[in-house]
Amino acid sequence: MTPDELVSRLAPVRVPADFARFGGQDACVALALGLLAGAILSALWRAVTAPRARPLDEARAAIAALAGLPPQERLAGLALLLRDLGGTAPPSMRQALYDPGTAPDPASLEAAVIAAARRAER
């Protein structure tokens, strides 16, 4: 018996009428799956294209947040920020960081933080 003869003797496939037609439930399932796929793709797209904060902008915001603190706390915060950015404190500020009796001027430390942030952007 050849394969063609075997195929010709097979009975036709019988599918229930409910499976053979596309109904309202099928349309709802297709719509729900499309909405779910769209929500997942939208979340992924948002995560991929989210704007990244620049180190310089973050440094300026941190300097502004530290502006209202007492002088020694402000210097300590600026020194921590400078350390996080990979910079080193200027020699004029090193004594002020450890001696509370010195009158510190945080401008040079702020300039060092900004310079380190600019280097971090590159």
b/e 41-73 (16+ beta carbons within 10 angstroms → b):
eeeeeeeeeeeeeebbeebeebbeebeeeeeee
18 and 65 housed in the same domain: no
Number of domains in the chain: 2
24 and 81 housed in the same domain: no
64 and 116 housed in the same domain: yes
pLDDT at residue 10, as a whole number: 82
Q: What is the pLDDT along the chain (122 residues), one digit of tens a residue?
A: 788 888 888 877 777 777 778 888 889 999 999 999 999 999 999 999 988 888 889 999 999 999 989 888 888 899 999 999 988 888 878 777 777 777 777 888 899 999 999 988 87
pLDDT at residue 101, as a whole number: 76
pLDDT at residue 100, as a whole number: 73
